[in-house]
Amino acid sequence: EDQVTQSPEALRLQEGESSSLNCSYTVSGLRGLFWYRQDPGKGPEFLFTLYSAGEEKEKERLKATLTKKESFLHITAPKPEDSATYLCAVKGGNNRKLIWGLGTSLAVNP
Amino acid sequence: DGGITQSPKYLFRKEGQNVTLSCEQNLNHDAMYWYRQDPGQGLRLIYYSQIVNDFQKGDIAEGYSVSREKKESFPLTVTSAQKNPTAFYLCASSYRAGTPVYGYTFGSGTRLTVV
């Protein structure tokens, strides 16, 4: 069964303290892995798509990487405005739908 | 600017009442989706549609209905048969399933509360 697990469930950082969020997945024939950011009371905002192991993508302080079993979202020198819930989703070859993780709630203190 | 518009932002439903949530997109996306989000449960798929006049049940379709008469519009009706409708509802769209796969664009959501 296709499955996505995100860890940690919640993370609190000091401003400038770099860290990583994890997304572990089990899927038959990965076709894409997606990272989203969601602010309270709003819809998820698309960040990255990764298609194959070894791929990396960057956007400002965020960098997403992908292996055959997991993806990491690295946050370098975070700022309070990076506080949000980060969601991971995968699409496999046998499934027409995205499989979503439960998210990591990130709080960055000034 | 292109995007997805959901309305209303807040909706209150009385017991036994049907309500309809609106979702309109001007991105020229083929596929549209409805999700329900509850605390601690993540995003759960209600219905999706890949082309006009066709839609498929998701994981939690009971008590909901949809229509897709226009490419731009995918309204969701929450019927009285849905016993626990209080939740945050999200509409999304994407280019049609294929290679490569595309990410979804989400609307800003509708918060439905039963009163």
Q: What would the pLDDT profile of A6-17 be if each residue is shown by its tens digit?
A: 999 999 999 999
Measured CA to CA, the distance from residue B69 to residue B53 in angstroms comes to: 6
3-state secondary structure string across chain B: CCCEEEECCEEEECCCCCEEEEEEECCCCCEEEEEEEECCCEEEEEEEEEECCEEEECCCCCCEEECCCECCECCEEECCCCCCCCEEEEEEEECCCCCCCCCCEECCCEEEEEC
Between chains, do B101 and A97 touch, taking CB under 8 Å as contact?
no
Residues B41-63, mean pLDDT to the nearest whole number:
94
pLDDT at B99: 54
Q: Return the structure tokens found at A14.
A: 């000091």
- Contact between residue B66 and residue B34 where contact means Cβ atoms under 8 Å apart: yes
Split at pLDDT 50, 70, 90, the class of B2 is confident
Give the DSSP per-residue string, A38-58: E-TTS--EEEEEE-STT-EEE
pLDDT at B18: 94
Residues B69-97, mean pLDDT to the nearest whole number:
93
pLDDT at B4: 97
Nearest-CA distance from B81 to chain A in Å? 25
pLDDT at A23: 98
Residues A87-103, mean pLDDT to the nearest whole number:
88
Split at pLDDT 50, 70, 90, the class of A97 is confident
pLDDT at B115: 86
Q: Does A2 touch chain B (CB under 8 A)?
A: no
Q: Return the structure tokens found at B83.
A: 């016993």
- Contact between residue A13 and residue A77 where contact means Cβ atoms under 8 Å apart: no
Q: Does A32 touch chain B (CB under 8 A)?
A: yes
Residues A59-72, mean pLDDT to the nearest whole number:
97
Q: Return the structure tokens found at A7.
A: 């860890």
Query: Which of B42, B101, B109 comes nearest A43 by C-beta?
Result: B109
| Peptide linkage before A40 cis (omega within 30 of 0) | no
Split at pLDDT 50, 70, 90, the class of B15 is confident
Angstrom CA distances, B95 to A32, A43, B28, B88, stand at 14, 18, 8, 24
Above 80 in pLDDT, residue B97?
no
Q: Does B63 touch chain A (CB under 8 A)?
A: no
Measured CA to CA, the distance from residue B101 to residue B94 in angstroms comes to: 9
Average pLDDT of chain A, as a whole number: 95
